[in-house]
Structure 1
């Protein structure tokens, strides 16, 4: 591969992404489906690329881009660090505590049920199926295309070919289930009177439908934290992400060559980025005051859009055809999990604004954070349910569970420790239910139509 090959591949990707945005802005049926432009572009790339019609001059290397872009995405998560506010936690303990347990239970069940289903049921129909097959569901649904690429690469390094293609297919299916299924559930909830802030689905703003923000609704994507005379602010933030990404790759190669140990590169990059966040410091004397988290988020989101394109466009259709039956069964198991998490566990562990909070978790549990955010904005455009606020506070609690699943999961599932891995997340699931009952965070007996909204703060 040459630098010119890279240029042509990204040029083709950019053309199709812009075309996807144009289609989203102009075609009503696409607006009603809320399908992201990058996903539309991915489908176009799959149809026009080397896997099918072979019209576009895309190289055979497009399948390798997703794994590299993933490193940048996780570096962006690490460099933004974490936030925790004891004062808010004490004030709103019940609401946030229940929500934290709900989020943890959501990922635990999405890991446990598909893996057990794959081992006990799918393997009976397809005996040669890999025991790690079930983890691809959580990687694709909960993790999205970035995690699917990372997990697929790890599995392939352990000897399982085609894992990345299967993971990307799972992620694509999860995103469609998240968007289309989410809209169906929103229409259902508005008819039932379960929504607190939007009572009619037709109230959705034009900005959300077309994806084009009107001048009066536009917000800044970040601030100049360094002078362009010295260094462009965007270049400054890009450098902050490329450093841990590159160091993560080099360090992982060193570990592999020195100790013959295999770790996911994205995990190493995330840890390095998190250490940079801690070392840079957030105090008055810390360098971190010159880091704009909104710019970091935008870079990470931009990388995710290209990751989605290359992930979908590079899917090997023969592999999907070969695995169509186990993939279909796996998707169905995942669909059952996310629906139960939304309509059963959601109202059980969320009292105030239960549907708004549950649909957000449903959205990012079937694709990416942006899908959850899109669904939330449809019914709570001003975050009155405090879903995003609570997510920022309790979000770090999920990180260890995710990192262990994505890092240790493939190794344990490929080396005969599958039941040990499953047992860990079964124990976590049981602990969530026990904690919910002990702290009285189980509200199932209260009728759904009688649930209140989250109380507004005084200043609101």
Structure 2
């Protein structure tokens, strides 16, 4: 790939995004379904790109862009810092603890239940399917195409032929389940009053409905804190975000090469950005007084639009047509699981802004981080639910469990230790529920409608300004 290849890919993406914005401002169906321009553009890119009609000359690299853009998005979250409100620390810790327990439970359930279903049911109908088949759902739904390729190749090295194709198909189906299922569930939630920041379509202003803001309603998108004579303010803020993005990648590569540990790069970039925030210093003597949080917000939000586009446009549809029966049964089990974790586990383990946090995890658990961000963007345009910040903070807790599943799973499942593997993840799932109940992070009996906003009030009922910025622009 050359820089000109990158230029062409982003030019085509920009054309489709702008055309989709025009379509959204005119077409009632798109407005009624809260469909962001970037998501619509992604579908256009999928239809017109090399994966289907092959009309637009996208390069073969478009599938890798989303993973890089995610790093930039999390750097934009970290550079604005994170702090606990002095009178609100207990609530923040409870919120993040409950969310961490929820995320770990979801991951473990997606791993072990499909394996049990595959062993006890699918293998009886299709005898040639081995005991490792069930793990392919988790590699695709939760891991995405990258994990699917890695685990699939491991399976094939152990004698499970076609594992990579099956895993990639799982990832593709997971994305489609995430997108279309997520939109359906969001409409259901808005009608029932479960959403905090986006209500029923009839109550949404024309600005939000069409996406075109009237002159009298247009907010400022930032202040010029740096004189253009010295350095353009946008270049200044862009540099602040690119530094932790690049350093996060380099640091994560060093960690992987030196100690063999594989952390999410976006988490490392987020941590580096937080360190930069601390070093810049907030106050009259610190450099941070020249950082405008709203400019950072807009840069992160702009990156999110392109992340959504490339995440959707790079789907490989032809793979879905293969291995219909066993894969169809496995995908059906996955669909049931993600629906239950959204509507049953979600409200039970999340109190404030429960639907916003749960729909993000639903999207994240169906294959691509970009889908989770897309769904969150629809219901929480300005990250008031603190979902993105909490995800960055508690994300590393999932890493050891994921590493064990993707590395040891294939060998254990094909080596006769399938029930031991299942038992490990079943036990972790039970522990998550027990811990949630023990620490009073279990909200089963509390009505779903009318639960509070995650950032609305502190313990004394006084409005608190979150130090976490939005990474999304209002639809």
Q: Give yes or no for TM over 0.5.
A: yes
* Contact 2:104–2:398, Cα closer than 8 Å, also in 1: no
Deviation larger for 232-241 or 271-280: 271-280
Distance across 2 between alignment mates of 1:165 and 1:74: 28
* Correspondence 1:13-412 to 2 at 5 A: 13-90=13-90, 93=91, 99-122=95-118, 124=123, 126-127=129-130, 129=133, 131=135, 133-139=137-143, 148=144, 151=147, 167=171, 170-187=174-191, 189-190=192-193, 202-254=202-254, 264-322=264-322, 332-348=332-348, 357-365=353-361, 366=363, 367-369=371-373, 371-375=375-379, 388=384, 398-404=394-400, 410-412=406-408
Note closer, same or farther for the CA distance 1:88–1:324 as it changes in structure 2 (3 Å cut).
farther
Is contact 1:110–1:138 with CA below 8 Å preserved after alignment?
Answer: no
**Partners of 2:273 and 2:29 in 1: CA distance:** 41
> For the Cα contact (< 8 Å) 2:76–2:296, is it kept in 1?
yes
How far apart, in 2, do the equivalents of 1:374 and 1:11 lie?
25
TM-score by length of 2: 0.74
Farther-moved stretch of structure 1 (198-207 vs 169-178): 198-207
Q: 1:56, CA displacement in angstroms?
A: 1.1
Structure 2, unaligned stretches of length 5 or more?
A: 158-162, 364-370, 465-475
- In 2: Cα distance, 1:165 partner to 1:287 partner: 49
- Aligned pair in 2 of structure 1 residues 446, 44: CA closer, same or farther (>3 Å)? closer
- Post-superposition Cα deviations, 1:69-127, rounded to whole Å, max 9, x if no partner, equal 2332333344344221231235xx4xx66644542343123211111133222464543
Q: Which structure shows the bigger proportion of residues in helix conformation?
A: 1
Question: TM-score by structure 1 length?
Answer: 0.76
Matches within 5 A, 1:421-440: 429-438=429-438
8 Å CA contact 2:72–2:241 kept in 1: the answer is: yes
Partners in 1 of 2:316 and 2:432 — Cα distance? 39
The CA distance in 2 between the partners of 1:199 and 1:248, in whole Å, is: 37
User: Over aligned residues, Cα RMSD in angstroms?
Assistant: 4.1
| C-alpha contact (below 8 Å) 1:66/1:149 kept by paired residues | no
Deviations 1:426-456 (A, max 9, x none): 566545544554455555456668x676797
8 Å CA contact 1:79–1:273 kept in 2: the answer is yes
Equivalent position SS for 2:142: helix
1:16 CA drift (Å): 0.8
Shift of 1:7: 1.5
Cα distance in 2, alignment partners of residues 254 and 350 from structure 1: 36
**8 Å Cα contact 1:25/1:210 also seen in 2:** yes
After TM superposition, give the deviation of residue 294 of structure 1 in Å. 3.3
Kept after mapping to 1: 8 A contact 2:74/2:269: yes
